[in-house]
Structure 1
Amino acid sequence: MADTAYLSPEAVVQQQLDAYNAHDLEGWLATYAPDACQYQHPATLLARGHAEIRQRAIARFAEPDLHARLLRRQVIGQVVIDHEMVRRNFAEGPGQIELLCLYTVEAGKISSASFIAGPEQLDQPGTD
């Protein structure tokens, strides 16, 4: 993994997305600052710091179908906004969810991430 201190905010977020899709929890976590926060937009704290972020992500990274497909990315200074469609293995079955992810990158690490989630869309029987 490249030293994120020398990467642009867009490159840091891309590195995060690549590690997510590789189910590389430690590589993904390395793109976050040690004191980073994750929020449900606009301000509901989901996790603070590597330990809480890791704990929140362990089960998700174990999902066999986990994969985020980037639909669109916008970069404004240190803020990167990704619009994604994410394949998941929900408790009710496999499906997808639309996400808007707002990342703030400082000193080559994600310092905060805020998520807006659409409704879970379960696969219809007989589809993959």
Structure 2
Amino acid sequence: MNSTIDSTDATIPVQGQLEAYNACDIDTFMQFWAGDCQYYAFPDELLANGAAEIRERHIVRFKEPNLQGKLLKRMAVGTMVIDQEVVTRTFPEGPGEVDVIAIYEIDKGKIAKAWFKMGQPRLHAPAD
């Protein structure tokens, strides 16, 4: 069986969407997602089905003033990429961060499926 994509190539759309996420650039972000992509809370809670639903989720998210995903570690095997990140966000309770494991399945150079496992948010200490 000959795969048309290797692990290095699989990381390209994952890195691209992370950079666009950090720039809050919805148009560039969406270029890395397949039209029929699926977006899950790990393991199997479908949060968004298709690019339009993923776009709507992120338009709201990209309005957060402190949004930033920091990549801690990445591994790739074939068409699967797993990222360990710390994401800074503005939660309803205030600014903070959350640990995230993101698993991406790449097909034809686009993210076809993604699963996200979130830790417990840690709120930042209030400024004096």
Q: TM-score, normalised by structure 2?
A: 0.91
Aligned to 1:39: 40
User: Which 4+ stretches in 1 moved above 6 angstroms?
Assistant: none
The answer to whether residue 27 in structure 2 is matched with residue 26 in structure 1 is yes
Higher mean C-alpha deviation, range 48-57 or range 82-91: 48-57
Distance 2:42 2:16 in 1: 22
Please give the residue correspondences for 1:1-128 in structure 2 after superposition, counting only pairs within 5 Å: 8-126=9-127
Distance 1:95 1:49 in 2: 29
Distance 1:125 1:93 in 2: 9
| 1:30-81 residue CA offsets vs partner (Å, 9 max, x unmatched) | 1000000000111110001111111111111111100000000010110000
**2:43 partner amino acid:** P
Distance 2:54 2:12 in 1: 21
Give the drift of 1:26.
1.2
Distance 2:35 2:84 in 1: 25
* Residue ranges of structure 2 left out of the alignment (5+ in a row): none
Distance 2:116 2:45 in 1: 10
Distance 2:27 2:20 in 1: 8
| 1:104-125 residue CA offsets vs partner (Å, 9 max, x unmatched) | 0010000000000000110012
Distance 2:35 2:124 in 1: 36
